[in-house]
Amino acid sequence: MLAVAASHYSTVTVTGQAAGVAQGTLPLRRADTAPAPVRQSLEGGSVIAGIIIGVVVVVLIMIFIGLYNSLVKRRNAVDNSWSQIDVQLKRRHDLIPNLVESVKDYMSYEQETLSKVTEARAAAVAAGAEGPAQAAQAENALTDTLRSLFAVMENYPDLKASQNVMALQEELTATENKISFARQFYNDSVLTYNNKIQTVPSNVIAGMFNFTKRDYFEAPDAEREAPKVDLR
Amino acid sequence: MDFRRQIARNKRDSWFLMALVVVALLVLGFVIGFAYWGDYFGGIGLLGVFGVAAIVWSLVGYYAGPGMALAVSGAKEVTHDQEPQLWNIVEEMSVAAGQPMPRVFVIESDAANAFATGRDPRHSAIAVTRGLMARLNREEMQGVISHEMSHIRNYDIRFATLLGIMVGMIALVADFFLRWGFFFGGGRGRSSGSGSGGNAAQGVVFIIAIVLAILAPLFAYMVKFAYSRKREYLADASGVELTRNPVGLAGALEKIAADPAPLKTANRATNHLYISTPEKKHHKAGLFDTHPPIEERIARLRAMAYQAPGDVAATGETG
């Protein structure tokens, strides 16, 4: 630093004095120092090229890691939201026997409706292990039988007076809602995930690491017609 | 609509607003310090003090603020067994949003209102008044809770808490300076020995400090209210995204608008948290409102209902 400052200073003094008086020593010293920066800049050129290549490689690796990680996160989100549906379906399976038990004394003429619910529940429990598509079908059938049970229950004013039945009905209604909201959330995660593994550029990585498309949990047909079960 | 991107943008906007308010606080600190001691050291010194105070205050508010907001509004935590339907509706919405279950609180008041608070979705709470529970049916309550759940998911709760703290601090400092600054101001200038020039400069800065002390709180409140109004519309819209039923929330807002009772336990520090302004004053939309006009929110929700496919009146899967 000191040397650089000194030589800079002397150069300035030389040019500051009359040009003709300038003698060899100072300009010569400048000439001596001149080649060094040139050599440096030549080396610098290849160094810069190396740095650019290095940066490009690092950026590519980072993009690759980012895409891979986001695919894993989306897949985990799908798995997690499926387990949320699962929790609610299990809860419904647990609640139904209680409800059937509590209402059957009041509804002796509706044995057929009640046994349909019980059968549909058994089928849904069995289908639970077979993956989203089969489970969805069985659970939707169960939803339909429950809807008809709730509709029939409207005809029995005695039921409305039973605190136990009303509490169970609120729990089942809430569980039905949670199933449909969990399904909504699951389908949204599946949509995001499927979009991700099918679109450029993440489809390349999805192909390399075997990320496969997931099934939607289809809504029951009756729900598309938007039935209204007001149990309040 | 990609909610992840919207939430990310929401967080970014909110940090920007927070930065603006913090800068306003630091500028206020510098100018008051300069006016008080008459040199840069005084200015930078007070700026530093304000900076440290802002950090400490924010940390305290960040961890203790939500609990305090619940305590001052008289909210009591309830379990599933105490309030099964309310609890179930909150759980339904947390399932729909894919968020952890918030704690559930009830405020024993006849007024119809609700708010959400907390520092993130894992540490969040939803409080509703007894009056609201009495007036709304299940579908409408679901609309209200979906709105509150959206505040939680969008991280509005965190920034409402932090912004409230910052704005409160600016207001307090400005208020203190305007009230007491005249008694001490100017007389303590360290530069008074350097001649009348120093005093003149100090006098000018003193006037600037007064102007800033008046303007800074106004600016801070405007930022806070603009933030609050924008988030109300967003929470309405993303709440509907959860329930897929704009009619429920619209119906709830109509009932809340028609309800004349103001919520007495709400105050200036917590007003902006509620789903509808608790003071119940009626006037044109202004820069100092915490909430957009409720009629406008209902109109937007009703418009969404007309866009929805099929018979809207029957879209409630709510039961």
Condensed to tens digits (0 to 9), the pLDDT of residues A189-223 reads: 999 899 988 988 888 888 888 888 888 877 655 44
| Least confident among A84-88, A208-212, B68-72, B224-228 | B224-228
Catalytically active residues of B, by annotation: 148
Q: Say if residue B35's pLDDT is above 90.
A: no
B267 interfaces chain A, CB cutoff of 8 Å: no
Number of separate domains in chain B:
2
Q: Burial of A96 by CB count in 10 Å (0-12 exposed, 13-18 middle, 19+ buried)?
A: buried
**B189 and B152 share one domain:** no
**pLDDT, position B287:** 63
Write out the two tokens for B288: 């100092």
Higher local confidence (pLDDT), B151 or A25: B151
Residues 6 or more apart in contact with residue A123 via CB below 8 angstroms = A138, A141, A142
**pLDDT, position B81:** 92
**B240 and B167 share one domain:** no
Q: What CA–CA distance (Å, rounded) separates B139 from B89?
A: 9
Q: A57-91 burial by CB neighbour count: b if 16+ within 10 A, else e?
A: eeeeeeeeeebbeebeebbebbeebbebbeebbeb
Beta-carbon separation of B95 and A229 below 8 A:
no
The percentage of chain A sitting over the pLDDT mark of 90, rounded to a whole number, equals: 18
**B83 and B213 share one domain:** no
**pLDDT, position B13:** 76
Predicted complex: ipTM over 0.85: no
pLDDT band at A86 (very low <50, low <70, confident <90, very high): confident
- Give the end of a domain, one of B201, B220, B239: B220
pLDDT band at B138 (very low <50, low <70, confident <90, very high): very high
**B298 and B244 share one domain:** yes
Q: What CA–CA distance (Å, rounded) separates A46 from A43?
A: 6
Q: Point out the residue among A77, A182, A228 whose CB comes nearest to the CB of B316.
A: A228
Residues 6 or more apart in contact with residue A28 via CB below 8 angstroms = none
Q: Point out the residue among A185, A227, A230 whose CB comes nearest to the CB of B98.
A: A185
Residues of A in contact with B140 (CB under 8 A): none
Higher local confidence (pLDDT), A87 or B205: A87
A178 interfaces chain B, CB cutoff of 8 Å: yes
**B208 and B116 share one domain:** no
pLDDT band at B190 (very low <50, low <70, confident <90, very high): very low
- Tens digits of per-residue pLDDT, B4-14? 677 777 778 77
**B205 and B261 share one domain:** no
**B84 and B213 share one domain:** no
- Give the end of a domain, one of B177, B192, B220: B220
**B78 and B140 share one domain:** yes
Residues 6 or more apart in contact with residue A169 via CB below 8 angstroms = A99, A150, A153, A231
- Give the end of a domain, one of B202, B220, B238: B220
Beta-carbon separation of B89 and A174 below 8 A:
yes
**Domain ranges, residue B35:** 3-69+158-220
Q: Say if residue B1's pLDDT is above 50.
A: no
pLDDT band at A40 (very low <50, low <70, confident <90, very high): low
What global pTM score does this model have?
0.75
Q: What CA–CA distance (Å, rounded) separates B52 from B46?
A: 10
B81 interfaces chain A, CB cutoff of 8 Å: no
A174 interfaces chain B, CB cutoff of 8 Å: yes
**B168 and B271 share one domain:** no
Beta-carbon separation of A232 and B138 below 8 A:
yes
Q: Is residue B245 part of a domain?
A: yes
**pLDDT, position B211:** 85
The percentage of chain B sitting over the pLDDT mark of 70, rounded to a whole number, equals: 84
**B276 and B262 share one domain:** yes
**B80 and B139 share one domain:** yes
**Across all residues in chain B, what is the average pLDDT?**
80
Beta-carbon separation of B92 and A181 below 8 A:
yes
Residues of B in contact with A77 (CB under 8 A): 98
Which of A177, A180, A186, A191 would best serve as a mutation to test chain B binding (most B beta carbons within 10 A)? A177
- Tell me how many residue pairs between chain A and chain B have CB atoms under 8 A apart: 62
Can you tell me whether residue A101 is helix, strand or coil? helix
Closest CA to B254 of B153, B139, B154: B139
Q: Is residue B194 part of a domain?
A: yes
Q: Is residue B170 part of a domain?
A: yes
Tell me the CATH number at B274. Answer: 3.30.2010.10
- DSSP code at position A199: S
Residues of A in contact with B315 (CB under 8 A): 226
Q: Is residue B319 part of a domain?
A: no
Q: Is residue B138 part of a domain?
A: yes
**B77 and B64 share one domain:** no
Shortest alpha-carbon distance between residue B196 and chain A (Å): 43
Q: Is residue B209 part of a domain?
A: yes
DSSP B29-98: HHHHHHHHHSSHHHHHHHHHHHHHHHHHHHHHHHHHHHHHHHHHTTEEE--TTTSHHHHHHHHHHHHHHT
Q: Say if residue B111's pLDDT is above 70.
A: yes
A148 interfaces chain B, CB cutoff of 8 Å: no
